[in-house]
Amino acid sequence: MRYKLVLFLKMLLFTTILQAQMSDLARVEYTYFPQRDSDNSFRRFRAFARLPIKLNDKGSFLVPGIEYRNVNFIYRDETVFNTTNLERFSSIEVNLGYTFKLKNNWRFAVQSGVIAASNFEEHKLMDDDLLFTGSFYFLKDKKDIENTTSWRLILGLQYSTSAGRPFPLPFINYYKKFHPSWSYVLGVPKSNLKYYFKEKNILQSFITLDGFFANIQKNRNLADLESLEEKTANNISMTIVLAGFGYERLFTDHLLFYTYTGFTIINDIRLRNGNQDNILTINDQNSLYIRAGLKLKL
């Protein structure tokens, strides 16, 4: 049951991570994730940008975007295989979205993208490094005149080749600001409860998904000590579920600093074969998680 839950979370994570903050135009952040009962650690630098291009006065936009991630996974556990070139992974995603207004305050959006994610030890791009994503959404939001209460609903379907399943997944996200000082979000990959104080400061409690997926260009052969069967690791993945608290400081209406601190509920870091079967569990001990950055939003 735990394996099925982790697999489902992976499928959700890899197809919703960009849509979690659909109003974000740009972001730069750093994540530090030490591994409990191990000298391993996970560090990630992430940056992305989107540029909405207005097509007409009817509310139609073309939205090209790009994202870069650099993952430094410090691998210090003893192993029976070579861990050289398994500590640095990079990914670059290029995506394109299109959105237009519908009747009754609804909006339709569609997005597709291609991702290159690998350790790039061959110093070139290979076919297995490439992942493809696609999604579409129906959005509706409403604000009152004084903007003291508002809500937003997003419904959609998403597909990613990294999920290893030939069918799309549903996406539901609901935001509600029910008081000038309080709001909440229910959905995946993040749900939260926010409290706004001193005009430009926000505290929140949250539960969220995070992780990464990347190809290993020179596959690693691992021996199963019980069956003596040799297995091949083709890729690496990390899926975590964590809960914690966050703080946001608004410098302007659109630029803010944020920091999140939490503790993982599920921590799944594994090597997998070409069929996405688990080969080796690197670490599954729950531990501390810290993330901070700057973002520009609508």
pLDDT score recorded for residue 231:
83
Residues 6+ away with beta carbon under 8 Å from 113: 18, 65, 93, 94, 95, 96, 132, 133, 134
pLDDT score recorded for residue 166:
58
Residue 176: name the closest of 163, 193, 188 by CA: 193
Q: Evaluate the CA torsion angle 259, 156, 149, 241 in order and state its sign.
A: negative
Tell me the sheet residues that pair with 221: 232
DSSP 214-255: EEEEEEEEEE-TTT--EEEEEEEEEEEEEEEEEEEEESSSSE
Burial 228-254 (b: 16+ CB within 10 A, else e): eeebebbbbbbbbbbebebebebeeee
pLDDT score recorded for residue 112:
94
Is the Cβ–Cβ distance between 117 and 129 less than 8 Å? yes
Is the Cβ–Cβ distance between 281 and 269 less than 8 Å? yes
User: How far apart are the C-alpha atoms of 153 and 170, rounded to whole Å?
Assistant: 13
pLDDT score recorded for residue 5:
54
pLDDT score recorded for residue 277:
80
Give the tens place of pLDDT for each residue, 5-27: 555 555 555 444 444 445 789 99
Residues 6+ away with beta carbon under 8 Å from 36: 283, 285, 286, 287, 288
| CA 296 to mean position of chain CA atoms | 17
pLDDT score recorded for residue 15:
44
The separation between the first and the last C-alpha atoms of the chain, rounded to the nearest angstrom, is 40
Strand ranges, E, within the chain: 24-34, 41-50, 53-54, 61-74, 88-101, 106-118, 130-143, 150-160, 169-179, 182-187, 190-197, 201-223, 230-250, 255-272, 278-283, 288-297
- Ordered per-residue pLDDT tens for the chain, 298 residues: 555 555 555 555 544 444 444 578 999 999 998 888 778 888 999 999 999 999 998 889 999 999 999 999 888 777 777 777 888 999 999 999 999 999 988 999 999 999 999 999 999 999 999 999 999 999 998 876 565 678 999 998 888 876 555 567 888 889 999 998 999 999 877 899 999 998 899 999 999 988 888 999 988 887 654 555 678 889 998 889 999 999 999 999 899 999 999 999 988 888 888 877 888 888 788 889 999 999 998 8
pTM of the full structure: 0.86
Give the tens place of pLDDT for each residue, 228-275: 567 888 999 888 999 999 999 999 989 999 999 999 998 888 888 887
Q: What is the largest CA-CA distance in the chain?
A: 69
pLDDT score recorded for residue 16:
44
Assign 46 to helix, strand or coil.
strand
pLDDT score recorded for residue 245:
98
Is the Cβ–Cβ distance between 48 and 20 less than 8 Å? no
